[in-house]
Amino acid sequence: MKKVRLLEYEYLGTKLPNLNVIIDDEGLVVYVALLYGIYLKKANKVYSVKRLERREGYEIYLQASQISDSTAKSYMSCLFRFCKYVNEQSKLGKLRSVHSLYDLSNTDINEYINESLPVDLGEQSLNLHFSALRSFFNFLTFLSIKPLTDLYLSHAARQKARENNAKKAKINYITKSERFELIIHCSNHRDRLLMKLGSEVGLRASENRGLLLSYNGEEKGYLKDLFKQLDSEEFNHKNEFGYLLSGKFTKGGKSRTIFFTRSLLREMKEYYDGEREQLLVGMEDDRVDSEHLLINTKGKNKGHCISARLPSDVFSEYAKKLKGLPSKISYHDLRHTFATELYHDELLDDNGSETRSESAALIVVAERLGHSMGKDGYPSSVTIRYIRLRSIMQVAEGWT
């Protein structure tokens, strides 16, 4: 699914610039969402349910109220997320088509509001989505398309959203300019690689130990093999090189394939041929670790593989020297940054339009990070966090 913006649209003689239109996987317009979008653009009004007390009981009616352009835009974004959810659930056979939003039951809608949304939204965002959906379904009632819905926000959903607020106090995204500052202030090639392996490959600090040049003398499938491919005509078409990171070095003990861009792999080879080789000059063989790429530069362990926590210590050392960086950031936030940008890129087509499904993008992220999937085959909350972090990234990079 995707949301497209019509720069110039005219409806019954009224010009509606920048109209947001929601389209399904086959390029078909979701018409009830289009009607809602036109109404918001044309009237800037929403409907709320009111109860009028009478002697014989009470009367339920809909009352229109004015909203701002920014609120209308936010409501359409909330509706788009709901449409994507319905679309994904329909593929699993749990809900009807996204073109049948008017047929959804109160239970279906409330399940989305109280179980799906609180997974990654804070309290303010949850309230916004709730208001948007209530407005949309009240609009369908106003059109006599759907009976009045009974939507609610549970106490548990609000509490979960408040807990998310507390978690959001720590920003896990490091901007491109902040990463650039960290890299240029690194005092050696190894440390620069560590920063890039976190933000461009998504490695945990300890997983840097799993970058092996060879294993028991075997080079096939290891970095020495990839280094040879860099200068081979047979592989000059490749811009990305896969490497199987052994479960011996991963959290949970599960192996996964990681990927190096050609430029990053070239930097790794330059480190291997240059700084690393110079470091080992004159050292005795029994003090040299010949199979791990990244080695210690000084002390009694000079020449041996770095420790599991050295990348974190190196990151903290440089971060403390730089002004303007967010407080409490860590090496692991480079991994979060990688995942956030990967999720963003997986959602977009070559033209920069959001076309890929949210769940498909999250599955790619889960695979690249080595996250396990939920029992329903959908990424767990550990991966879903990148939906929220993408929003933080867009604001931090000035994209919104």
What confidence score (pLDDT) does residue 57 get? 63
How far apart, in whole angstroms, are the C-alpha atoms of residue 221 and residue 224? Answer: 8
Q: For residue 38, how far is the Cα from the chain centroid?
A: 30
Q: Can you give the pTM of this predicted structure?
A: 0.64
**DSSP letter for each residue of 115-169:** IIGGGT--HHHHHHHHHHHHHHHHHHHHTTSSPPP-----HHHHHHHHHHHHHTT
Task: Report CA Rg, the chain.
Answer: 26
136: which 2 tokens?
């949309």
Q: For CATH 1.10.443.10, list the domain ranges present in the chain.
A: 176-396
What confidence score (pLDDT) does residue 67 get? 87
Per-residue pLDDT of the chain (400 residues; tens, 9 = 90+): 888 888 887 777 778 888 889 999 999 999 999 999 999 988 888 988 887 776 666 677 788 899 888 888 889 999 999 999 999 999 989 999 999 999 999 999 999 999 999 988 888 899 999 999 999 999 999 999 999 999 999 999 999 988 877 665 566 899 999 999 999 999 999 999 999 999 999 999 999 999 999 999 899 999 999 999 999 999 999 999 999 999 999 998 999 999 999 999 999 999 999 999 999 988 876 667 679 999 999 988 899 999 999 999 999 999 999 887 877 899 999 999 999 999 999 998 766 677 667 888 999 999 999 998 877 777 887 888 888 889 889 888 988 6
How far apart, in whole angstroms, are the C-alpha atoms of residue 158 and residue 206? Answer: 37
Fold of 176-396: hpI Integrase; Chain A (1.10.443)
Instruction: For residue 200, give Cα distances in angstroms to 140, 265, 325, 332, 338.
Output: 46, 11, 19, 12, 6
How far apart, in whole angstroms, are the C-alpha atoms of residue 254 and residue 277? Answer: 31
Contact 249, 207 (CB under 8 A): yes
